[in-house]
Amino acid sequence: MSAAHTQRRVVVLISGRGSNMRALVESGRETNSPYQVVAVLADGPQAPGLATAGDLGIETGVIAPRPNGNRDSYAAELAAEVGRRAPDLIALAGFMRILAPTFVDAFAGRILNIHPSLLPKYPGLHTHRRVLAEGDLEHGATVHFVSAQLDAGPAVLQGRLDVGRGEDEARLAARVLELEHRLYPLAARWVCEGRLACRDGKAWFDGHALASPLQLAQFDGGQDAA
């Protein structure tokens, strides 16, 4: 059977430039990839990643909140638009809206997010700034399944790097983003190969419940990032 018939369908949600979206698309086009990105949806027409996705030949769409709408009505509209693409996996790539529990429940176990910190440390925004303010010597990024609680779903894969002496926020952010581009396609592949799953509020890898996130260095044989 050809790869076109066996590939799992991935929908990516963005709010910004979508660099992780691009990494997912490019990985999905590699030989023998278990998935393909079939659509990129944004929460506003201003997202630069829409143009990037269009240039890559990916279907795009905008699901913007209505002026008089609420979180639940937006969740219902988003779920309908995502659902009609029949995704096997939904990847949040800089999607800056907290998903309503109704949306999370509708796609339970099929939503991944990537967060620029070593969760459970530093959920939320401004993670690089907070790492520097605390004087941490280590930083990184985490791929996790999405739950109704912000950045609190089961963590599955992390990449780590050392924080350089005198390093500024912009440089640190750029280095973490490079890690993200390696982490996210790998986790998406595992989900679409059936190796990684979310059941009973836990992440499972190759049939075993994860007590802690997998580490990128376990799989590429070296330090995560210089």
- For residue 21, list its beta bridge partners: none
Note the pLDDT tens digit of each residue in 210-221: 999 999 999 975
Q: Is 133 helix (H, G, I), strand (E, B) or coil?
A: helix
Taking CA atoms, 78 is separated from 53, 184, 203, in Å, by 19, 22, 25
Total structural domains in the chain?
Answer: 2
Q: What is the mean pLDDT of residues 140-150?
A: 95
125 shares its domain with 68: no
Taking CA atoms, 73 is separated from 69, 76, 117, in Å, by 6, 5, 31
121 shares its domain with 66: no
176 shares its domain with 200: yes
In angstroms, the CA 142 to CA 168 distance is 21
Note the pLDDT tens digit of each residue in 18-76: 999 999 999 999 999 999 999 999 999 999 999 999 999 999 999 999 988 888 999 99
φ/ψ (deg, to 5) at 80: -65, -45
What's the distance, Cα to Cα, between the start and end of the chain in Å?
Answer: 41
- Residue 114 confidence (pLDDT) above 80: yes
Q: According to the model, what pLDDT value does residue 68 have?
A: 85
Tokens for 145, please give them: 């399944």
Q: What is the mean pLDDT of residues 198-215?
A: 97
Which residues lie below 8 Å from residue 27, measured CB to CB, with a gap of 6+? 33, 185, 188, 189
161 shares its domain with 182: yes
5 shares its domain with 54: yes
Q: Which residues are catalytic?
A: 115
Residue 158: domain span: 115-141+149-226
If we measure between CA atoms, which residue out of 117, 196, 191 comes closest to residue 151? 117
159 shares its domain with 193: yes
14 shares its domain with 79: yes
Q: What is the mean pLDDT of residues 192-211?
A: 97
